[in-house]
Amino acid sequence: MDPIVRFENVRKAYGSLEVLHDLTLRVEEGDVVTLIGRSGSGKSTALRCINGLEKINGGALYVCGRALHEANVDLRDLRKEVGIVFQSYNLFPHLTVRQNVTLAPRKVKGLGAAEANQLASHVLGQVGLSEKADNYPEQLSGGQQQRVAIARSLAMQPRLMLFDEVTSALDPELTGEVLRVIEKLAASGMTMVLVTHEMAFARSVADQLVFMHKGTAWETGKGEILDNPSTPELRQFVGSGL
Amino acid sequence: MSYDFDFSFLRDYDSDLVYGVWLTLAMTVAAIVPGFALGTTCAISALYGPAWLRRLSTAYVEGIRNTPLVIQVFWLFFGLSVLNIHVSATTAAITALVVNVGAYTAEIMRAGFETIPKGQTEAAACLAMTRTQQIWNIQLPQAVERMYPALVSQFVLMMLATSIMSQISAPELTGVGYQIQSFTFRGFEVYIVIAIIYLALASVLRLLLFGVATALFPRRRRLKTPL
Amino acid sequence: MFGLTIEQLGFIVRGAGWTIVLSLLGFVGGTLVGLPIALARSSNNRWLPRLSAAFVQLVQGIPLPVIMFVVYFGISIGGFDIPALVAAGIAMTLYSSAYLGEIWKGSIQAIPSTQWEASECLALTPVQGFVYVILPQAVRVAIPPTVGFLVQIVKNTSYSVVIGFTDLTYAAKVINNATFRPFLVFTIAAGIYFVICYPMSLLSRKFERSLKRS
């Protein structure tokens, strides 16, 4: 079966600064892939290429059967199948939690009010926030807001979920609740690509761990590569406790 | 210097004054919604439209904001009659007000849209919402809420500006005052009273508009955040 | 030229001259009355801030044409037969002083209180502190909105048409009545206002940007 995400020799540069260099990567359906690496290694950029937030300059990128390297790709159509959760949650402050979650299903997928509310109850239950449905984002903690953001993306019933350093902006005691939700999601079979600094989590949840360095997949494998790095760069990365 | 103040006209002309108040309020309210719509459309097209639309919008905004309302009203009213297009003076007055307040609203709403963090439009786009859906559901409600005090001030100023419309014989409160003083020769007293009425009207309008805000912004109502 | 006779154009230009005169009157008068108001608004007295706030709110809540009428009829009561320029000038002064007073009060209050403390610590008297430390900084902050308000003054002189003052708007109206060419006449008048106001608008924005940068 075709992989959901396929990077082939992808190149991306900002002007003269090359951020992705000959990146080749496959994500099969049901896989959980975590991207780790230093800042500037290109991991966030690679993630953002998957749903078209960034455009690639060279190579080929296939996501959900679409060729993103071609000129006239319908990104909006792609984004009905690919969800993303951001580091800064980006919830809509003027809407309640329920409204945040039901907005896109109603406007984009044309769901009726009752159907959308049912869907909202389901995904909010999945992230453990059913009782907060009528609160506004500002009344919630950072961890709760991030879980709402996850629910909001889940409500679109995507084939693929992207997580861009979703715990980096949280106080340490709040990251646990978010990581647990992501673990549950992974166990349920959702295809996911995560960029994260949480090493222990990255290794425990990943089917494939990708250490990125200088814009390419420097070393990949299962979680064990962190114990026995083959490349000096990964050895240094692990050793520095990042 | 002795002067006998005489406010007896209040008894004789009270219904005229009330009618003048009604006319002024009606003219103001009739101009607020179209004016706001025009200004917001202008701001949106300047932000997201093609370059020529942006230039047109800028020309409109700068042209209106750097010329007096009186000239705009005269241009429209006397221009229409020369073209043999017959509209009532009130219609001409309201049209001029709409065009005028539209330009000021455009500036206010442009600033409002700029305060909305880009992350939100990014998130909305990643939820597969179209640009129109993003503007209508995410950006517009927040821009209006943030700029509401500025918008209210602008609409109160517009109500005060209706005072000039009697110059083209569009009836309103100041015009009523002129008629009363021409009958009673008590210009000073009459206009003092008119002034006081405008002061009260400004407060009434503010109250009305903040009532609208309570209905429009449920979050503000629920969380009691001040505007 | 422009479809109008030289006399007619001259009439309009003279009107423009009177607009400038009235604008200057309004600005100078507004400064003379507005500065004390700004100081009163920022003072620590019990009554002054409230009294001056009441004055400002009063003036800001009354349409300028009505202020013009009140001044005009008020002065006639005293038995004085005054030219419209004086009435308009007084009205513009009242109007400008309220707004300038508010603008300048805002500029004074924009200076952080640490500056007051610093001048106290340098053993300056309150007056010296104000004149040498606060005022120069407040003036810098005040320039963009003041220049911006000048634009409002020029535009609002047009309201003097209600008491028959022969400014640019009045002149345009007269010429229109004579020629029945409103699009031509009022576009010329609008153009003159624009040429006066637009550069000041740009200047005000430029000042604001350079203020933000520093």
Q: Which residues of B64-76 are buried (b: 16+ CB within 10 A; e: fewer)?
A: bbbbbbbbbbbbb
> What pLDDT score does C45 carry?
83
A82 pLDDT above the threshold of 90: yes
Cross-chain Cβ contact A104/B123 below 8 Å: no
Q: What domain count does chain A have? A: 1
Domains of chain B: 9-223 (1.10.3720.10)
For tokens 């409500």, name the residue: A155
Confirm whether A220 is domain-assigned: no
> What pLDDT score does C135 carry?
86
**pLDDT category, B136, cuts 50, 70, 90?**
very high
| B202 lies within 8 A of chain C by CB | yes
**pLDDT category, B119, cuts 50, 70, 90?**
very high
Chain B residues closer than 8 Å to C180 by CB: 82
Contact present, A175 and A198 (Cβ < 8 Å): yes
Q: For the segment B150-192, what is each residue's pLDDT rounded down to a tens digit?
A: 999 999 999 999 999 999 999 999 999 999 999 988 889 999 9
- Residue A148's CB: how many other CB atoms inside 10 A? 26
- Beta-carbon pairs below 8 A across chains A and B: 64
Dig out the tokens for B132 from the structure.
Answer: 């129109």
Rg (Cα) of chain A, in Å, rounded? Answer: 18
Put the strands of the sheet holding A58-63 in their side by side order: A17-27, A5-14, A58-63, A66-67
Contact present, A181 and A147 (Cβ < 8 Å): yes
The nearest CA of chain C is from the CA of B119 a distance in Å of: 25
- Which among A88, A94, A149 is the nearest to B141, CB-wise? A94
Q: For the segment B24-62, what is each residue's pLDDT rounded down to a tens digit?
A: 999 999 999 999 999 999 999 999 999 999 999 999 999
Arithmetic mean of pLDDT, A34-50: 92
| B144 lies within 8 A of chain A by CB | no
Length of chain A: 242
Which of A89, A68, A54 lies closest to A8 in space, CA to CA? A68
**pLDDT category, B13, cuts 50, 70, 90?**
confident
- Which among A51, A76, A94 is the nearest to B219, CB-wise? A94
Angstrom distance (rounded) from CA A1 to CA B12: 91
Chain C residues closer than 8 Å to B164 by CB: 63, 65, 159, 162
Q: For the segment B74-95, what is each residue's pLDDT rounded down to a tens digit?
A: 999 999 999 999 899 999 999 9
Contact present, A137 and A97 (Cβ < 8 Å): yes
Which of C59, C20, C15 lies closest to C164 in space, CA to CA? C15
The nearest CA of chain B is from the CA of C163 a distance in Å of: 11
Q: Which amino acid is at B3?
A: Y
Angstrom distance (rounded) from CA A240 to CA C180: 85
Chain C residues closer than 8 Å to B187 by CB: 69, 72-73, 76
Put the strands of the sheet holding A191-195 in their side by side order: A82-85, A160-164, A191-195, A32-36, A208-213, A216-221
The nearest CA of chain B is from the CA of C118 a distance in Å of: 34
Q: What is the ipTM of this complex?
A: 0.91
Instruction: Assign 3-class secondary structure to chain C.
Output: CCCCCHHHHHHHHHHHHHHHHHHHHHHHHHHHHHHHHHHHHHCCCCCHHHHHHHHHHHHHCCCHHHHHHHHHHHHHHCCCCCCHHHHHHHHHHHHHHHHHHHHHHHHHHHCCHHHHHHHHHCCCCHHHHHHHHHHHHHHHHHHHHHHHHHHHHHHHHHHHHHHCCCCHHHHHHHHHHHHCCHHHHHHHHHHHHHHHHHHHHHHHHHHHHHHHHC
For chain A, the chains sharing at least 3 beta-carbon pairs closer than 8 angstroms are B
A242 pLDDT above the threshold of 70: no
Dig out the tokens for B175 from the structure.
Answer: 């015009």
Cross-chain Cβ contact B71/C182 below 8 Å: no
Angstrom distance (rounded) from CA A65 to CA A54: 18
Arithmetic mean of pLDDT, A107-129: 95
Task: Tell me which chain B residue has its CA closest to the CA of residue A99.
Answer: B137
What phi and psi values does residue C40 have, to the nearest 5 degrees? Answer: -65, -40
Cross-chain Cβ contact B163/C63 below 8 Å: yes
Instruction: Assign 3-class secondary structure to B30-81.
Output: HHHHHHHHHHHHHHHHHHHCCHHHHHHHHHHHHHHHCCCHHHHHHHHHHHHH
> What pLDDT score does A241 carry?
57
- Residue A134's CB: how many other CB atoms inside 10 A? 11
Chain C residues closer than 8 Å to B181 by CB: 73
Cross-chain Cβ contact A107/B217 below 8 Å: no
Q: Parallel, antiparallel, or unpaired: how do β-strands A216-221 and A208-213 relate?
A: antiparallel
Task: Tell me which chain B residue has its CA closest to the CA of residue A153.
Answer: B127
Arithmetic mean of pLDDT, A156-168: 95
B2 pLDDT above the threshold of 80: no
Taking CA A215 as the corner, what is the angle to CA A211 and CA A220, rounded to the nearest 5 degrees?
25
Superfamily of domain C21-165+183-213: MetI-like (1.10.3720.10)
Domain housing A127 = 94-157
pLDDT, mean of each 10-residue run, chain C (214 residues): 84 96 97 93 86 93 96 84 90 96 91 86 83 87 94 97 95 94 95 97 93 82
Cross-chain Cβ contact A90/B138 below 8 Å: no
> What pLDDT score does A160 carry?
96
Cross-chain Cβ contact B78/C186 below 8 Å: yes
Chain A residues closer than 8 Å to B133 by CB: 107-108
Chain B residues closer than 8 Å to A53 by CB: 122, 126
Instruction: Assign 3-class secondary structure to chain B.
Output: CCCCCCCCHHHHCHHHHHHHHHHHHHHHHHHHHHHHHHHHHHHHHHHHCCHHHHHHHHHHHHHHHCCCHHHHHHHHHHHHHHCCCCCCHHHHHHHHHHHHHHHHHHHHHHHHHHCCCHHHHHHHHHCCCCHHHHHHHHHHHHHHHHHHHHHHHHHHHHHHHHHHHHHHCCCCHHHHHHHHHHHHCCHHHHHHHHHHHHHHHHHHHHHHHHHHHHHHCHHHHHHCCCC
| B116 lies within 8 A of chain A by CB | no
Longest dimension (CA), chain B: 77
Q: Parallel, antiparallel, or unpaired: how do β-strands A66-67 and A58-63 relate?
A: antiparallel
